[in-house]
Amino acid sequence: MVGVEDIAYFPYFDFNSNENSFSKTILEKFATDNGHTISYVSLPVKQFSKWLHENNIDFKFPDNQRWHDPNVKNNGAEYYSNDVVYLRAGTIVLLKNKEKPKSFFKNLGMISGFDPTLWRAEIANNEINILSDTSPKVLMKHLVNGLVDGVDVDIAVAKFYLNSLGLDHQLTYSVALPQDVFSYQLSTIKYPEIIEQFNRWLDTNPNFLAATRREFHIPAETLLVQ
């Protein structure tokens, strides 16, 4: 049983929908190729770090070792897979605002429960107002209508939900604000042997991974040089 986030973040995942997604395609193919049966349980994002310890699940996806404090008890997993896909953390803006300075941003849209890692100092100093919602579609509507100056989501997510609104505004990442690249990983505290099997499957199926990424219009990202 895999614990998944109870929100829609298409094209990466939407496990509450019957629609396929990048994550479901990858996990289902791995399960089929290796004789596993897979099921999903949607869990609240705000309790993300406690899922594996407080819920009857075997795995968590997506996860990332960087998201957990190793000094906090019952926080995160014991075993993490290799990287499945890379995403870019940054602030999506209308193209006309691409080069606006940081001082331009007063209201920022963010998915409820997501950690505003790139804005912690500004939030602590009351320099920016965070407008949270569980729906990326709602946040994109806010961006187009000028209720927020930017939205912290991946560009593939932003474009999908903008298109779902029937809009064709040009979007991009702000070049004046910090960006980071991170990955999705599969994690567990119970089954390191399945993580090893999953890693071998990832290593032997690069073409399938790349084709699935292209199918869902996910850009190819690489880790940023620190």
Structural domains in the chain? 2-86+182-215 (3.40.190.10), 91-173 (3.40.190.10)
Tokens 């993300």 sit on residue: 48
Which of 27-36, 85-94, 113-122, 127-136 is predicted with the least confidence, judged by mean pLDDT? 113-122
Q: Residue 182: beta bridge partners?
A: 87
Q: Would you give the DSSP letter of residue 134? A: S
Q: Does pLDDT of 224 surpass 80? A: no
- pTM across the whole model: 0.91
- Residue 211's pLDDT is 98
Closest C-alpha to 110, from 9, 5, 212: 9
Q: What share of the chain is helix, strand, coil (3-state, %, to 5)?
A: 35, 20, 40
Rounded CA Rg of the chain: 18
CB 2 within 8 A of CB 38: yes
Q: List, for residues 4-60, the tens digit of each pLDDT value.
A: 999 999 999 999 998 999 999 999 999 999 999 999 998 888 776 676 777 678 999
Residues 1, 39 contacting (CB under 8 angstroms): yes
Helix (H, G, I), strand (E, B) or coil at 81: coil
Of 116, 157, 114, 113, the C-alpha closest to 137 is: 157
> Is the CB of residue 21 less than 8 Å from the CB of residue 216?
yes
What percent of the chain is predicted at pLDDT more than 90? 75
Give Cα separations from 134 to 8, 46, 110, 111, 171 (angstroms): 8, 11, 8, 5, 20
Above 60 in pLDDT, residue 154? yes
**The pLDDT of residue 78:** 86
pLDDT surpassing 50 at residue 226: no
According to the model, what pLDDT value does residue 70 have? Answer: 67
Say yes or no to pLDDT of 215 above 50: yes
The Cα–Cα gap between 48 and 113 comes to 8
